[in-house]
Amino acid sequence: MAEMVMPLEMAENETLIEQEATAIERIKQIRPLLGDDVVILGHHYQRDEVVQFADFQGDSYQLSREGAKVDAKYIVFAGVHFMAESAVVLGRDDQAVILPNMQAGCSMADMANLEQVLTAWSELEDVLMDDPENQVMPITYMNSAADLKAFVGEHGGAVCTSSNAQGVLEWSFAQRQKVFFFPDQHLGRNTGKKMGIPLEQMVLWNPFKPYGGLTDDEIRNARIILWRGHCSVHQQFRPEHIDLWKRHHPDVNVVVHPECMMEVVDKADYVGSTSYIVKMIENAPAGSKWAVGTEMHLVNRLKNQHPDKMVELLSPFSCLCSTMYRISPLDLANVLENLTEGRVINQIFVPEDVKRNAKLALDRMLTIPK
Ligand code: 13P
Ligand code: SF4
Protein backbone atom coordinates (compact mmCIF):
# COMPACT_ATOMS: atom_id res chain seq x y z
CA MET A 1 0.00 0.00 0.00
CA ALA A 2 2.73 2.49 0.98
CA GLU A 3 4.67 2.17 -2.29
CA MET A 4 1.70 3.48 -4.28
CA VAL A 5 1.88 6.76 -2.40
CA MET A 6 3.99 9.55 -3.82
CA PRO A 7 5.46 11.81 -1.11
CA LEU A 8 3.74 15.15 -0.63
CA GLU A 9 6.50 17.40 -1.86
CA MET A 10 5.73 20.92 -2.90
CA ALA A 11 7.75 22.63 -5.58
CA GLU A 12 9.49 25.63 -4.07
CA ASN A 13 8.06 28.08 -6.56
CA GLU A 14 4.44 26.88 -6.18
CA THR A 15 2.01 29.50 -4.86
CA LEU A 16 -0.17 28.57 -1.89
CA ILE A 17 -3.14 28.08 -4.22
CA GLU A 18 -1.09 25.68 -6.36
CA GLN A 19 0.17 23.87 -3.26
CA GLU A 20 -3.39 23.46 -2.02
CA ALA A 21 -4.50 22.18 -5.44
CA THR A 22 -1.66 19.63 -5.31
CA ALA A 23 -2.66 18.65 -1.78
CA ILE A 24 -6.28 18.13 -2.86
CA GLU A 25 -5.13 15.80 -5.62
CA ARG A 26 -2.94 13.94 -3.10
CA ILE A 27 -5.88 13.50 -0.71
CA LYS A 28 -7.96 12.09 -3.56
CA GLN A 29 -5.20 9.50 -4.17
CA ILE A 30 -4.49 8.68 -0.54
CA ARG A 31 -7.99 8.62 0.94
CA PRO A 32 -9.14 5.38 -0.79
CA LEU A 33 -5.98 3.60 0.38
CA LEU A 34 -6.96 4.14 3.99
CA GLY A 35 -10.46 2.71 3.51
CA ASP A 36 -12.53 2.10 6.61
CA ASP A 37 -9.54 2.56 8.92
CA VAL A 38 -10.18 6.30 8.76
CA VAL A 39 -13.27 8.41 9.23
CA ILE A 40 -13.08 12.11 8.50
CA LEU A 41 -15.53 14.28 10.46
CA GLY A 42 -16.04 17.87 9.27
CA HIS A 43 -17.74 20.81 10.92
CA HIS A 44 -19.97 23.01 8.75
CA TYR A 45 -17.57 25.96 9.18
CA GLN A 46 -14.66 24.20 7.49
CA ARG A 47 -13.55 25.44 4.13
CA ASP A 48 -14.95 23.58 1.09
CA GLU A 49 -11.47 22.38 0.09
CA VAL A 50 -11.33 20.43 3.36
CA VAL A 51 -14.95 19.56 4.10
CA GLN A 52 -15.40 17.95 0.68
CA PHE A 53 -13.44 15.01 2.12
CA ALA A 54 -15.59 14.62 5.23
CA ASP A 55 -17.35 11.27 5.54
CA PHE A 56 -19.76 13.06 7.83
CA GLN A 57 -20.45 16.79 7.99
CA GLY A 58 -22.46 18.36 10.78
CA ASP A 59 -22.80 20.72 13.71
CA SER A 60 -21.12 20.17 17.07
CA TYR A 61 -23.95 18.03 18.40
CA GLN A 62 -24.20 15.80 15.34
CA LEU A 63 -20.44 15.39 15.18
CA SER A 64 -20.25 14.31 18.82
CA ARG A 65 -23.08 11.81 18.25
CA GLU A 66 -21.46 10.55 15.09
CA GLY A 67 -18.01 10.49 16.70
CA ALA A 68 -19.37 8.25 19.48
CA LYS A 69 -20.59 5.71 16.89
CA VAL A 70 -17.52 5.61 14.67
CA ASP A 71 -15.88 2.22 14.33
CA ALA A 72 -12.70 3.32 12.50
CA LYS A 73 -9.22 3.14 14.02
CA TYR A 74 -8.52 6.76 13.18
CA ILE A 75 -10.90 9.71 13.48
CA VAL A 76 -9.57 12.71 11.60
CA PHE A 77 -11.44 15.72 12.97
CA ALA A 78 -11.71 18.65 10.60
CA GLY A 79 -12.98 20.97 13.29
CA VAL A 80 -11.38 22.65 16.29
CA HIS A 81 -9.53 21.37 19.33
CA PHE A 82 -12.49 21.06 21.74
CA MET A 83 -14.40 18.98 19.17
CA ALA A 84 -11.47 16.59 18.75
CA GLU A 85 -11.16 16.31 22.53
CA SER A 86 -14.84 15.42 22.79
CA ALA A 87 -14.33 12.72 20.16
CA VAL A 88 -11.50 11.30 22.30
CA VAL A 89 -13.75 11.31 25.37
CA LEU A 90 -16.63 9.61 23.56
CA GLY A 91 -14.45 7.28 21.50
CA ARG A 92 -12.85 3.95 22.33
CA ASP A 93 -9.41 3.68 23.92
CA ASP A 94 -8.01 1.93 20.86
CA GLN A 95 -9.05 4.75 18.51
CA ALA A 96 -6.82 7.71 17.70
CA VAL A 97 -8.34 11.14 17.15
CA ILE A 98 -6.30 13.40 14.91
CA LEU A 99 -6.59 17.17 14.53
CA PRO A 100 -4.99 18.07 11.19
CA ASN A 101 -3.65 21.36 12.55
CA MET A 102 -2.87 21.66 16.24
CA GLN A 103 -3.34 25.44 16.07
CA ALA A 104 -7.05 25.02 15.34
CA GLY A 105 -8.42 26.16 18.69
CA CYS A 106 -11.41 28.29 19.65
CA SER A 107 -11.08 31.77 21.13
CA MET A 108 -14.36 31.33 23.02
CA ALA A 109 -13.22 28.06 24.61
CA ASP A 110 -10.05 29.88 25.71
CA MET A 111 -12.13 32.45 27.62
CA ALA A 112 -12.70 30.05 30.53
CA ASN A 113 -10.05 27.88 32.15
CA LEU A 114 -10.24 25.37 34.98
CA GLU A 115 -8.53 27.56 37.53
CA GLN A 116 -10.98 30.40 36.92
CA VAL A 117 -13.96 28.06 37.06
CA LEU A 118 -12.75 26.43 40.29
CA THR A 119 -12.35 29.89 41.86
CA ALA A 120 -15.81 30.91 40.71
CA TRP A 121 -17.31 27.68 42.04
CA SER A 122 -15.84 28.11 45.51
CA GLU A 123 -17.01 31.74 45.59
CA LEU A 124 -20.53 30.65 44.62
CA GLU A 125 -20.44 27.96 47.32
CA ASP A 126 -19.29 30.57 49.79
CA VAL A 127 -22.31 32.78 49.07
CA LEU A 128 -24.87 29.97 48.78
CA MET A 129 -23.68 27.44 51.38
CA ASP A 130 -26.32 28.38 53.96
CA ASP A 131 -29.12 28.04 51.44
CA PRO A 132 -29.82 24.41 50.48
CA GLU A 133 -32.84 25.58 48.46
CA ASN A 134 -30.62 27.65 46.18
CA GLN A 135 -28.17 25.24 44.59
CA VAL A 136 -26.22 25.64 41.36
CA MET A 137 -25.88 23.29 38.38
CA PRO A 138 -22.77 23.81 36.25
CA ILE A 139 -23.44 23.61 32.51
CA THR A 140 -20.72 23.99 29.94
CA TYR A 141 -21.14 24.73 26.27
CA MET A 142 -19.50 22.15 24.03
CA ASN A 143 -17.04 24.90 23.12
CA SER A 144 -14.88 24.36 26.19
CA ALA A 145 -11.79 22.39 27.15
CA ALA A 146 -12.13 18.76 28.29
CA ASP A 147 -11.08 19.60 31.86
CA LEU A 148 -14.06 21.98 32.16
CA LYS A 149 -16.37 19.27 30.87
CA ALA A 150 -14.82 16.99 33.50
CA PHE A 151 -15.48 19.57 36.23
CA VAL A 152 -19.11 19.76 35.12
CA GLY A 153 -19.43 15.96 34.98
CA GLU A 154 -18.02 15.62 38.48
CA HIS A 155 -20.49 18.19 39.83
CA GLY A 156 -23.62 16.60 38.38
CA GLY A 157 -23.93 18.86 35.32
CA ALA A 158 -24.00 18.36 31.56
CA VAL A 159 -22.57 19.69 28.34
CA CYS A 160 -24.86 21.50 25.90
CA THR A 161 -24.54 22.56 22.29
CA SER A 162 -26.31 25.28 20.38
CA SER A 163 -28.88 22.75 19.22
CA ASN A 164 -29.94 21.38 22.62
CA ALA A 165 -29.25 24.24 25.08
CA GLN A 166 -32.92 24.65 26.07
CA GLY A 167 -33.37 20.94 26.76
CA VAL A 168 -30.23 20.91 28.90
CA LEU A 169 -31.32 24.01 30.87
CA GLU A 170 -34.77 22.48 31.47
CA TRP A 171 -33.09 19.28 32.67
CA SER A 172 -30.95 21.39 35.00
CA PHE A 173 -33.78 23.41 36.48
CA ALA A 174 -35.68 20.20 37.20
CA GLN A 175 -32.88 19.37 39.66
CA ARG A 176 -31.38 22.61 40.98
CA GLN A 177 -32.53 26.21 41.28
CA LYS A 178 -29.69 27.92 39.44
CA VAL A 179 -27.45 27.35 36.45
CA PHE A 180 -23.82 28.40 36.17
CA PHE A 181 -23.33 28.58 32.39
CA PHE A 182 -19.97 28.90 30.67
CA PRO A 183 -18.24 30.04 28.53
CA ASP A 184 -20.73 31.68 26.10
CA GLN A 185 -22.86 34.36 27.71
CA HIS A 186 -24.91 34.84 24.54
CA LEU A 187 -26.06 31.24 24.11
CA GLY A 188 -26.93 31.17 27.83
CA ARG A 189 -28.81 34.47 27.80
CA ASN A 190 -30.65 33.81 24.53
CA THR A 191 -31.74 30.39 25.75
CA GLY A 192 -32.78 31.66 29.18
CA LYS A 193 -34.77 34.49 27.61
CA LYS A 194 -36.54 32.05 25.28
CA MET A 195 -37.51 30.07 28.39
CA GLY A 196 -39.04 33.20 29.94
CA ILE A 197 -36.33 33.95 32.51
CA PRO A 198 -36.25 37.71 33.16
CA LEU A 199 -33.02 39.48 32.17
CA GLU A 200 -32.44 40.72 35.72
CA GLN A 201 -32.28 37.08 36.85
CA MET A 202 -29.43 36.37 34.40
CA VAL A 203 -26.27 37.95 35.77
CA LEU A 204 -22.84 38.22 34.18
CA TRP A 205 -19.87 36.63 35.93
CA ASN A 206 -16.63 38.50 35.25
CA PRO A 207 -13.84 35.95 35.85
CA PHE A 208 -11.32 38.75 36.41
CA LYS A 209 -13.14 40.18 39.44
CA PRO A 210 -13.65 38.67 42.93
CA TYR A 211 -17.06 37.01 43.13
CA GLY A 212 -17.47 37.71 39.43
CA GLY A 213 -18.01 41.39 40.24
CA LEU A 214 -21.44 40.49 41.68
CA THR A 215 -22.99 41.25 45.06
CA ASP A 216 -24.21 38.41 47.31
CA ASP A 217 -27.79 39.44 46.55
CA GLU A 218 -27.22 39.38 42.81
CA ILE A 219 -25.83 35.86 43.12
CA ARG A 220 -28.65 34.71 45.44
CA ASN A 221 -31.39 36.10 43.19
CA ALA A 222 -29.96 34.90 39.88
CA ARG A 223 -31.46 31.98 37.97
CA ILE A 224 -28.59 31.86 35.47
CA ILE A 225 -25.05 33.01 36.14
CA LEU A 226 -23.48 33.66 32.74
CA TRP A 227 -19.74 33.52 32.16
CA ARG A 228 -18.39 36.61 30.42
CA GLY A 229 -17.28 34.83 27.23
CA HIS A 230 -18.31 35.19 23.61
CA CYS A 231 -17.59 34.03 20.08
CA SER A 232 -15.48 36.57 18.24
CA VAL A 233 -17.11 35.55 14.95
CA HIS A 234 -20.78 35.75 15.97
CA GLN A 235 -20.27 38.84 18.10
CA GLN A 236 -19.60 40.76 14.88
CA PHE A 237 -23.24 40.60 13.79
CA ARG A 238 -25.13 43.72 14.88
CA PRO A 239 -28.84 44.62 15.02
CA GLU A 240 -28.10 47.45 12.53
CA HIS A 241 -27.18 44.81 9.94
CA ILE A 242 -30.69 43.38 10.22
CA ASP A 243 -32.20 46.89 9.90
CA LEU A 244 -30.16 47.48 6.76
CA TRP A 245 -31.27 44.22 5.14
CA LYS A 246 -34.91 44.79 6.02
CA ARG A 247 -34.77 48.33 4.64
CA HIS A 248 -33.40 47.21 1.27
CA HIS A 249 -35.18 43.83 1.09
CA PRO A 250 -38.39 43.95 3.16
CA ASP A 251 -39.05 40.31 2.21
CA VAL A 252 -35.68 39.02 3.47
CA ASN A 253 -35.60 36.29 6.13
CA VAL A 254 -32.95 36.68 8.79
CA VAL A 255 -31.60 33.52 10.40
CA VAL A 256 -28.84 33.67 13.01
CA HIS A 257 -26.85 31.41 15.29
CA PRO A 258 -27.61 31.69 19.05
CA GLU A 259 -23.98 32.68 19.73
CA CYS A 260 -25.02 36.12 18.36
CA MET A 261 -25.80 38.82 20.92
CA MET A 262 -29.34 39.06 22.30
CA GLU A 263 -30.14 42.27 20.37
CA VAL A 264 -29.45 40.41 17.11
CA VAL A 265 -31.30 37.25 18.13
CA ASP A 266 -34.32 39.33 19.20
CA LYS A 267 -34.55 40.99 15.79
CA ALA A 268 -33.92 37.85 13.72
CA ASP A 269 -36.77 35.85 12.17
CA TYR A 270 -35.17 32.49 13.00
CA VAL A 271 -32.49 31.32 15.43
CA GLY A 272 -30.70 27.99 15.54
CA SER A 273 -27.55 25.92 15.34
CA THR A 274 -25.56 25.53 12.16
CA SER A 275 -27.54 22.41 11.18
CA TYR A 276 -30.79 24.25 11.82
CA ILE A 277 -29.59 27.00 9.46
CA VAL A 278 -28.57 24.46 6.82
CA LYS A 279 -31.99 22.76 6.94
CA MET A 280 -33.82 26.09 6.93
CA ILE A 281 -32.14 27.20 3.71
CA GLU A 282 -32.41 23.75 2.11
CA ASN A 283 -36.15 23.65 2.74
CA ALA A 284 -36.83 27.28 1.77
CA PRO A 285 -38.80 27.92 -1.42
CA ALA A 286 -37.00 28.98 -4.59
CA GLY A 287 -36.82 32.76 -4.88
CA SER A 288 -36.76 33.30 -1.11
CA LYS A 289 -34.18 35.68 0.37
CA TRP A 290 -31.92 34.94 3.31
CA ALA A 291 -29.49 37.01 5.35
CA VAL A 292 -27.54 34.60 7.51
CA GLY A 293 -25.72 35.41 10.75
CA THR A 294 -23.09 32.72 11.06
CA GLU A 295 -19.59 31.83 9.88
CA MET A 296 -18.96 32.88 6.28
CA HIS A 297 -17.68 29.56 4.91
CA LEU A 298 -21.00 27.95 5.71
CA VAL A 299 -22.94 30.92 4.31
CA ASN A 300 -20.93 30.90 1.08
CA ARG A 301 -21.42 27.16 0.71
CA LEU A 302 -25.18 27.55 1.16
CA LYS A 303 -25.18 30.39 -1.37
CA ASN A 304 -23.37 28.20 -3.93
CA GLN A 305 -25.56 25.18 -3.25
CA HIS A 306 -28.81 27.15 -3.64
CA PRO A 307 -28.47 29.47 -6.64
CA ASP A 308 -32.29 29.59 -6.87
CA LYS A 309 -32.41 31.48 -3.54
CA MET A 310 -30.72 34.65 -2.38
CA VAL A 311 -28.36 33.67 0.43
CA GLU A 312 -26.03 36.33 1.84
CA LEU A 313 -23.95 36.95 4.94
CA LEU A 314 -25.87 39.17 7.37
CA SER A 315 -22.84 41.38 8.00
CA PRO A 316 -21.22 43.52 5.29
CA PHE A 317 -17.85 42.41 6.71
CA SER A 318 -16.18 39.00 6.50
CA CYS A 319 -17.08 36.88 9.52
CA LEU A 320 -14.48 34.16 9.44
CA CYS A 321 -13.55 31.64 12.11
CA SER A 322 -9.82 32.07 11.72
CA THR A 323 -9.03 29.05 13.87
CA MET A 324 -11.22 26.65 11.85
CA TYR A 325 -9.58 28.14 8.79
CA ARG A 326 -6.19 26.99 10.04
CA ILE A 327 -7.00 23.49 8.80
CA SER A 328 -5.94 23.51 5.19
CA PRO A 329 -5.87 20.77 2.53
CA LEU A 330 -2.09 20.67 3.13
CA ASP A 331 -2.70 19.70 6.77
CA LEU A 332 -5.26 17.09 5.81
CA ALA A 333 -2.97 15.62 3.14
CA ASN A 334 -0.13 15.58 5.65
CA VAL A 335 -1.99 13.61 8.36
CA LEU A 336 -3.44 11.17 5.82
CA GLU A 337 -0.11 10.65 4.11
CA ASN A 338 1.50 9.89 7.47
CA LEU A 339 -1.26 7.39 8.21
CA THR A 340 -0.57 5.54 4.96
CA GLU A 341 2.98 5.13 6.27
CA GLY A 342 1.78 3.93 9.65
CA ARG A 343 2.52 7.17 11.50
CA VAL A 344 -0.10 8.89 13.63
CA ILE A 345 0.66 12.60 13.89
CA ASN A 346 -1.31 15.36 15.65
CA GLN A 347 -3.09 12.90 17.91
CA ILE A 348 -5.25 14.49 20.61
CA PHE A 349 -4.92 13.04 24.10
CA VAL A 350 -7.11 13.55 27.15
CA PRO A 351 -5.87 12.31 30.56
CA GLU A 352 -7.82 9.29 31.88
CA ASP A 353 -9.39 11.01 34.93
CA VAL A 354 -10.47 13.99 32.81
CA LYS A 355 -11.85 11.63 30.19
CA ARG A 356 -13.93 9.72 32.76
CA ASN A 357 -15.61 12.80 34.23
CA ALA A 358 -15.98 14.63 30.91
CA LYS A 359 -17.72 11.52 29.58
CA LEU A 360 -20.27 11.78 32.39
CA ALA A 361 -21.15 15.31 31.25
CA LEU A 362 -21.23 14.40 27.55
CA ASP A 363 -23.21 11.20 28.12
CA ARG A 364 -25.77 13.15 30.16
CA MET A 365 -26.12 15.59 27.28
CA LEU A 366 -26.66 12.78 24.79
CA THR A 367 -29.48 11.31 26.89
CA ILE A 368 -31.36 14.61 27.36
CA PRO A 369 -34.09 14.95 24.71
CA LYS A 370 -33.50 17.87 22.33
P1 13P B 1 -22.80 24.47 16.34
O2 13P B 1 -22.00 23.53 15.55
O3 13P B 1 -23.33 23.85 17.60
O4 13P B 1 -23.85 25.15 15.59
O5 13P B 1 -21.79 25.59 16.93
C6 13P B 1 -21.13 26.44 16.19
C7 13P B 1 -19.78 26.70 16.66
O8 13P B 1 -19.43 27.74 17.10
C9 13P B 1 -18.82 25.68 16.53
O10 13P B 1 -17.72 26.18 17.08
FE1 SF4 C 1 -15.01 29.16 18.48
FE2 SF4 C 1 -16.60 31.03 17.39
FE3 SF4 C 1 -14.89 29.67 15.87
FE4 SF4 C 1 -17.02 28.44 16.89
S5 SF4 C 1 -17.03 30.08 15.41
S6 SF4 C 1 -14.94 27.65 16.83
S7 SF4 C 1 -17.19 29.48 18.88
S8 SF4 C 1 -14.37 31.08 17.56
- Same domain flag for 199 and 300: no
Task: Tell me how crowded residue 367 is: count the other CB atoms within 10 A of its CB.
Answer: 8
The alpha carbon of 333 and the centre of ligand 1 are apart by a number of angstroms equal to 25
Name the closest-CA residue to atom 2, ligand 2: 231
Q: 193, 212, 231: which is the final residue of a domain?
A: 231
Name the closest-CA residue to atom 6, ligand 2: 106
- Same domain flag for 79 and 157: no
The pLDDT confidence band at residue 12, using thresholds 50, 70 and 90, is: low
Cα–Cα distance measured from residue 155 to residue 37, given in angstroms and rounded to the nearest whole number: 36
Q: State how many domains the chain has.
A: 3
The pLDDT confidence band at residue 263, using thresholds 50, 70 and 90, is: very high
Tell whether 129 is covered by a domain.
yes
Tell whether 96 is covered by a domain.
yes
The alpha carbon of 179 and the centre of ligand 2 are apart by a number of angstroms equal to 23
Residue 5 pLDDT exceeds 60:
no
Residue 126 pLDDT exceeds 90:
yes
Residue 2 pLDDT exceeds 90:
no
Cα–Cα distance measured from residue 143 to residue 236, given in angstroms and rounded to the nearest whole number: 18
- Same domain flag for 169 and 79: no
Q: 140-179: per-residue pLDDT in tens?
A: 999 999 999 999 999 999 999 999 999 999 999 999 999 9
Cα–Cα distance measured from residue 113 to residue 160, given in angstroms and rounded to the nearest whole number: 17
Cα–Cα distance measured from residue 26 to residue 130, given in angstroms and rounded to the nearest whole number: 63
Ligand 2 and 338: CB distance under 6 A: no
Pocket of ligand 1 (CB under 6 A): 59-61, 106, 143, 161-163, 231, 259, 273-274
Ligand 2 and 231: CB distance under 6 A: yes
pLDDT at residue 6, rounded to an integer: 45
The alpha carbon of 340 and the centre of ligand 1 are apart by a number of angstroms equal to 31
CATH of the domain at 214: 3.40.50
What is the extent of the structural domain holding 44? 8-105+324-350
pLDDT mean over 228-257: 98
pLDDT at residue 3, rounded to an integer: 37
Mean pLDDT (the chain, rounded): 95
Name the closest-CA residue to atom 1, ligand 2: 106
Tell whether 76 is covered by a domain.
yes
User: Burial code of 306-335, b = ≥16 C-beta within 10 A, e = fewer?
Assistant: beebbbbbbbeeebbbebbbbbbbbbbbbb
The alpha carbon of 210 and the centre of ligand 2 are apart by a number of angstroms equal to 27
Q: 291, 313, 335: which is the final residue of a domain?
A: 313
Tell whether 367 is covered by a domain.
no
- Same domain flag for 137 and 200: yes
The alpha carbon of 320 and the centre of ligand 2 are apart by a number of angstroms equal to 9
Task: Tell me how crowded residue 7 is: count the other CB atoms within 10 A of its CB.
Answer: 7
The alpha carbon of 324 and the centre of ligand 2 are apart by a number of angstroms equal to 8
Report whether 163 contacts 64 (CB < 8 A): no
Tell whether 366 is covered by a domain.
no
- Same domain flag for 17 and 124: no
User: Atom of ligand 2 at shortest distance to CA of 234?
Assistant: 2
pLDDT at residue 10, rounded to an integer: 59
Q: 200, 231, 262: which is the final residue of a domain?
A: 231
Tell whether 39 is covered by a domain.
yes
User: Burial code of 142-168, b = ≥16 C-beta within 10 A, e = fewer?
Assistant: bbbbbbbbbbbbbebbbbbbbbbbbbb
User: Atom of ligand 2 at shortest distance to CA of 259?
Assistant: 7
- Same domain flag for 208 and 121: yes
- What does residue 358 show for φ and ψ, rounded to 5 degrees? -65, -35
Whole-prediction pTM value? 0.94
CATH of the domain at 299: 3.40.50.10800
Cα–Cα distance measured from residue 148 to residue 49, given in angstroms and rounded to the nearest whole number: 32
Pick from 302, 300, 295: which is nearest to 321 by CA? 295
- Same domain flag for 244 and 224: no
Ligand 2 and 106: CB distance under 6 A: yes
- Same domain flag for 64 and 147: no
- Same domain flag for 247 and 227: no
Nearest-ligand number for the alpha carbon of 233: 2
Residue 8 pLDDT exceeds 80:
no
- Same domain flag for 167 and 250: no
Q: Is the peptide bond before 100 cis (omega within 30 degrees of 0)?
A: no
Residue 186 pLDDT exceeds 50:
yes
Residue 36 pLDDT exceeds 90:
yes
User: Atom of ligand 1 at shortest distance to CA of 45?
Assistant: 9
Cα Rg for the chain, rounded, in angstroms? 22
Q: 84-113: per-residue pLDDT in tens?
A: 999 999 999 999 999 999 999 999 999 999
pLDDT mean over 263-275: 97
Tell whether 220 is covered by a domain.
yes
Q: Look at the alpha carbons of 355, 358, 360, 363 in this order and tell me if their dihedral is positive or negative.
A: negative
- Same domain flag for 120 and 224: yes
The pLDDT confidence band at residue 11, using thresholds 50, 70 and 90, is: low
The alpha carbon of 134 and the centre of ligand 1 are apart by a number of angstroms equal to 31
- Same domain flag for 142 and 240: no
